[in-house]
Amino acid sequence: MKLTYSVMFAIAIAFAAGPAAAAEGKTLQSEKHAFRIVTLVQGLQHPWSLAFLPDGRMLVTERSGRLRIVSKDFKLDPQPVEGAPRVVAAGQGGMFDVVPHPKYAENGWIYLAYSGPGDGGHGTELLRAKLDGHRLTQEQVLFRLEPKSSAGQHFGGRIVFDRDGHVYLTLGDRGDKERAQRLDDHAGSVIRLHDDGRVPADNPFVKRPGAKPEKFTLGNRNIQGAAFHPKTGELWTHEHGPKGGDEINVIRAGRNYGWPVITYGVNYGIGTRIGEGTHKPGMEQPLYKWVPSIAPSGMAFYEGDKFSNWRGNLLIGALRDEMLVRLELDGEKVLKEERLIRNTVGRIRDVRVGPDGYIYLLTDEANGVLARLEPVRK
């Protein structure tokens, strides 16, 4: 009976620790690297985004609306940061990305994307603030999606900065696909701002009567991965398709990415065609697509030194099949796809390359983890 109890206790502990525990310490083999997964932090509640601060600490958002601090020795502060914005954590909504300003060491600004309340419901907003000890201060809301709605899906929510200091925010179609083709509606687009929220004079629709001046693109369904190419400086994104048709796109000013007029996906459940097909003049083709879907989330170009054989590759998290996707590239062409750690650590929500060259993952679970990939030398 004692043995039985011990076995049951061990099983319970392993179950509580989640799938990452089963992979802990094991050497895993990819086509070009042997590596292991190390769990750094547990007990995160549906974490969404990870950011690194210059002093070695990390910031993690939780979809419920909390911002957490992880020390440089990977201790999770039990108290969330105070002063976080009011968040509507309903459906897919909540706290999304957190990104320090590229000149954070000089100005101290931290940028947050989240679903905020307003007339008509809620929608994605962009805020910047400063971290003073354990509290956010000097909060400034830089952008609010308009119009808001009560729908619970497709918020986008990724933040990236270009080399000139412009800030980009991705916005989903809010579950109403026709909104993605409207210039008088923020939904279903990428927006571009100066770092203080001003609209750049060279935004593509600034002089278009009735258009939202913040819009940089249109025809996007739900972008949850964004990264600037380290060599070309162009913005790459991925977005969720419907049933099938997840895409990677290179984002260019004023381009129409097609949703819902063209798509490689079909309607859920019934499998019928959406829109007019897969091609239409004046609408962009994806650089790469997945049919069936992988539900991508989080994206990073690898330029570190720890995984030298992966340098120049694109890393993408996937919620479906709980995996990390590695893409080998030649310019804007995908040469090869490798699927890693499938069903090993959990639903991967974010992928980041740390200043130390390791690869960091967040899992979107009730007991989510911050994990790290480390190479194993043979």
101 tagged catalytic: no
- Tell me which residues of the chain have a pLDDT lower than 70: 1-23
Task: Please report the pLDDT score of residue 22 as a whole number.
Answer: 57
Parse the chain into domains and list their residue ranges: 27-375
Catalytic residue among 33, 101, 122, 154: 154
8-state DSSP, 11: H
- The alpha-helical segments, DSSP class H, found in the chain are 2-17, 19-23, 104-107
Query: For position 201, what pLDDT does the model report?
Result: 98
Residues 6+ apart with CB under 8 A from 249: 220, 236, 237, 238, 239, 257, 284, 286, 287
Q: Which pLDDT score is estimated for 145?
A: 98
Tokens coding 248:
């990677």
So what's the pLDDT on residue 10? 39
> How far from 271 is each of 153, 177, 247, 265, CA to CA, in Å?
20, 17, 18, 9
Strand (E) or helix (H) holding 131:
strand 121-132
Q: Which fold has domain 27-375?
A: Neuraminidase (2.120.10)
User: Measured between alpha carbons, how far is 172 from 123 in angstroms, rounded to an integer?
Assistant: 10
Q: pLDDT tens across 275-325, in order?
A: 999 999 999 999 999 999 999 999 999 999 999 999 999 999 999 999 999
The residue among 187, 83, 167 whose CA lies nearest residue 126 is: 167
Q: How many Å apart are CA 365 and CA 35, to the nearest integer?
A: 23
pTM value is: 0.94
Q: What is the pLDDT of residue 365?
A: 97
The CA–CA distances, whole Å, from 57 to 112, 183, 230, 262, 275 equal: 17, 40, 24, 43, 46
User: 15 — phi, psi (to 5°)?
Assistant: -65, -40
CA-CA distance, 233 to 236, in Å (whole number)?
A: 9
pLDDT of residue 15: 43
Cβ pair 378, 34 in contact under 8 A: yes
Query: Do 114 and 125 form a contact (C-beta atoms < 8 A)?
Result: yes
DSSP codes, 296-327: EEEEEE---STTGGGTT-EEEEETTTTEEEEE
Predicted local confidence at residue 377, as pLDDT: 87
Query: What's the token pair of residue 324?
Result: 């990390």
CB 225, CB 237: distance < 8 Å: yes
